[in-house]
Amino acid sequence: MLRTGLSVLLLCLLLVAGAVVARSGNGSKHLQLKTPEVVTLQADTFSYRLAGSFLKAKRPAGAPLTNITLLKPLSIMKYQVSAQDYALCLADGACKSPFRGRMNLNDQPVTGVSFADAQAYARWLSVLTGHVWRLPTDQEWVFAAGSRFVDDDLGEAASAADPSRRWLSKYALDSTKQKSADSAIGERGRFGANENGLFDQSGNVWEWTSTCFTRSTLDLNGDVVTTDTINCGVRVVEGKHRTYMSDFVQDAKSGGCAVGAPPDFLGIRLVRDDPSAFSFARLRLWINTMVGN
């Protein structure tokens, strides 16, 4: 029985490997793809402002601040995915064109990409490099951003009994965000590095995360007691501020912003996971990539 199981596993690996070679097409063009640089951060505990919307005593409330502990090191791209690298995925037929087919210059970050586009690129890159690439969770993004994370919580005004006070505070905050909009796309590295060595976080290219939008209820102490809504059709997006976007949106200014002020541009930064070379996790990833899931 064990020998039969191993034979089946070996056959699956050979079939998948053959499919990957067939799908890769002209391997010479992939010589243009440099292995993405990553920064590896050691596991640690950090302060995290929960994502989502919250109610306390049936009134809107500010997001709780809590401590989160990452249990293993985090390897995350040093730069956002470039237009040049995304173009290789596009040429392979594994990725869709950015918004209106617009491509930035080679060493600029790719923009105009949806959550689904980011997922497709991660699958393609995983097969091509043999590593498992994925979007970061919002917690991981905030951890990696360090001092570049913008905490735009409204403070006491978020939980004020007077709705007008909340509205005025939110209006003032959104007005400030809109005034800081930046329509110029520069080369990667334009916004410099944070203390962790990651470039361009909280610049004018927002980054998709895998975290779904949630609505939760807090008790009087400000702790989450129930999560009433989990909407994975809307994802958390991080940049100069945190916002929430419908997952099919490529152009952030097209009205797809689910909550808050829209981002200037939508881009991609991925996390690298490293399961063992012949793990079931990697086999499952390859199979999902080939069938397009």
Q: Which residues contact 253 (CB under 8 A, 6 or more apart)?
A: 262, 264
293 residues of the chain, pLDDT tens digit each: 445 444 444 445 444 444 444 344 444 456 578 889 999 999 999 999 999 988 888 888 889 999 999 999 999 999 999 999 999 999 999 999 999 877 788 899 999 999 999 999 999 999 988 899 999 999 999 999 999 998 876 555 445 455 544 444 444 445 455 555 667 888 899 999 999 999 999 999 999 999 999 999 998 888 888 888 899 999 999 999 899 999 999 998 776 555 566 788 999 999 999 764 445 555 665 565 555 54
Residue 36, pLDDT score: 94
Instruction: Specify burial of residue 79 (Cβ count, 10 A radius: 0-12, 13-18, 19+).
Output: buried
Of 154, 249, 145, nearest to 202 by C-alpha is 145
Q: What's the pTM value of the predicted model, to 2 decimals?
A: 0.77
DSSP calls for 77-129: ESSPPBHHHHHHHHHTTSS---GGG----TTSBP-S--HHHHHHHHHHHHHHH
Residue 170, pLDDT score: 47
Residue 130 DSSP code: S
Amino acid identity for residue 143 in this structure: F
Residue 202 DSSP code: T
Residue 119, pLDDT score: 97
Residue 34, pLDDT score: 80
Alpha helices in 188-279 (DSSP H): none
- Per the document, the length of the chain is 293
| CA–CA distances in Å: residue 127 to residues 65, 122, 234, 251 | 38, 9, 27, 27
